[in-house]
Amino acid sequence: MKIRWREHEIIFVTVLAVAQIKLPLFRRDNASYEQLALQATPILLMYAGYLSITLFIIPSIKKISFTDFEKLLTLNILKPVFLIVLVSYLLAIGVNIISYYAKPHLFNYGDYQLLALLGYNDKPLTNLFFGFDRAAGLVLLFTTLAGVREFITWLINKPGPAREFRVLIINNTTPLLFVYFLIPFFTNPVHARFVDYVAWATPVLAIYIYHTFWLFPLTGKHTWPQQPVLLRLLLSTFAGALFSAVFFSGGRKLFELSIYWLFLLFIVTPLTWLLYLQRRDKIIQLKGMEKALVRSTADLQFLRSQINPHFLFNALNTLYGTAMKERSEQTAEGIQRLGDMMRFMLHENNLDLIPMNKEIEYLKNYIALQKLRTPSSPGIRIEDNIEEVKCDRSIAPMLLIPFVENAFKHGISFKERSWIEIKLECAETFTCFEVRNSIHSRMEGDPEKDRSGIGLKNVAERLKLLYPGKHELQVTENGNEFIAKLLIK
């Protein structure tokens, strides 16, 4: 689901611009069409400036990265600066040209209020840079406001359990807010009734948003008379009535407060309930997705808790086999590497992402431990390019090790020709990991030979959760060879 805030804002500003152009036509009086056209031109000029900021300047600013700031004079920085200067100058020169024909200084800028934003100009076109400083200030101000909008949109759009629900709220509330501001504009906001509009309309809008997206979804768990729903309903409507009471005048504030509270409770609330029923399925569906994502996160943590002891058992089994051979030097090396692996699991495995070199270091320790228990033999071949790989990417911890663990568990036989080939390729846009091994029964002397591993099953589940749509996992058997290939984009 995409956030529509920008689209709603463009529609809102377009309606405002059209209204500003249309309104003079309705009160035309004795003005000529030429005068009306000159009055409309500044509105179109400001509207074009707004579109330039929204459609060109802001997208170019969003392309700037931290690397660009380090280099300073890069195309990504120079482009938005150039656009800001260009739009500011075109705005200033446009106002000068309009002032030249309309001569607003002769009418004290009556009906030309927008031109006055760039300063009083009684000699247009004598200075082609007149008003540039004010125009640049306006462009920077609206660029900042648009930047705040984009930042809030980024916060709302951040991945998380409630992301889809947040987007739904924004897409439904921004049109309502724009309509809320348009109504007083068309009904003359300087009129005394404008205060009454704020007092009456604001609580209705706030109650609709609160009831639709927070209170009414509770009815899926509770009935109306129950405290979680009824208490919130009474408090929300009373708070709305209390807000309006601030604007009430006269000596009957308590009576007016009570009447308006009853209005919100028995008229506005049923109407908001009817409107909520029209989109209830969508709201409840997104609420369910939020809970499902929370459950997925819990499942991911559970999978990690399964993985840690699994690899610990494998490492201990390796040391057991080494001790049986009574080779103390190798036993000491194995214990050291095991300590490094346990340190990795304690400090790195709880993170969502780690540097690739940390995962590679863990792989090297694991492979070295397994080689300790594998005797040197021309019938056993173990090859890898892990030592040579340099990678600046990040990866979920302990994502690659199950493939290597599976290869050593099923790929080594002391009686038959065996091989294991491990290849890791790391580029800027992808990581490719491939493990090939011969197929045999469980490794001789493996105390876990009668137990089924959970490594590959877990890694498949983790990939679905961590890299949805951004990974390819191929597991195949080719004759007497097992091939596992993982591509992460």
Query: Is 0.85 surpassed by the pTM of this model?
Result: no
Bridge partners (DSSP) of residue 473 are 486
Q: Partners of 485 in the beta sheet?
A: 434, 474
Token look-up 């004598």 returns 126
Q: Are 138 and 91 in contact (CB under 8 A)?
A: yes
| 241 half-sphere exposure, CB direction, 13 A CA radius | 22
DSSP 177-213: HHHHHHHHHHT-TTSTHHHHHHHHHHHHHHHHHHIII
Burial 286-315 (b: 16+ CB within 10 A, else e): bbeebeebeeeeeebeebbeebeebbeebb
CB 92 within 8 A of CB 46: no
- What is the CB neighbour count within 10 angstroms for residue 244? 22
Class of 298-488 in CATH: alpha beta
β-pairing, 418-426 with 394-395? unpaired
Q: State the angle between helix axes of 163-186 and 5-26 in degrees (0 to 180), rounded to the nearest 10.
A: 10
The stretches of 325-430 forming alpha helices (DSSP H) are: 328-347, 356-372, 401-411
Would you write out the chain's pLDDT as a tens digit for each of its 489 residues?
789 999 999 999 999 888 888 765 555 555 566 777 788 888 999 999 999 999 999 999 998 887 777 777 788 899 999 999 999 999 999 999 998 888 887 777 777 778 888 888 888 888 888 999 999 999 999 999 999 999 999 998 887 667 777 888 898 899 999 998 888 877 765 555 778 888 889 999 999 999 988 888 877 665 666 777 888 899 999 999 999 888 877 677 888 889 999 999 999 999 998 888 887 777 766 665 555 555 555 555 555 555 555 666 666 666 666 666 655 666 666 666 776 776 676 666 667 788 888 888 888 888 888 887 776 777 888 998 887 788 888 888 888 988 998 888 888 887 888 999 999 998 888 899 999 999 875 544 444 444 444 567 778 888 888 888 889 999 988 878 999 999 998
Beta strands in 31-157 (DSSP E): none
Domain ranges for the chain, please list them: 1-164+174-185, 187-278, 298-488
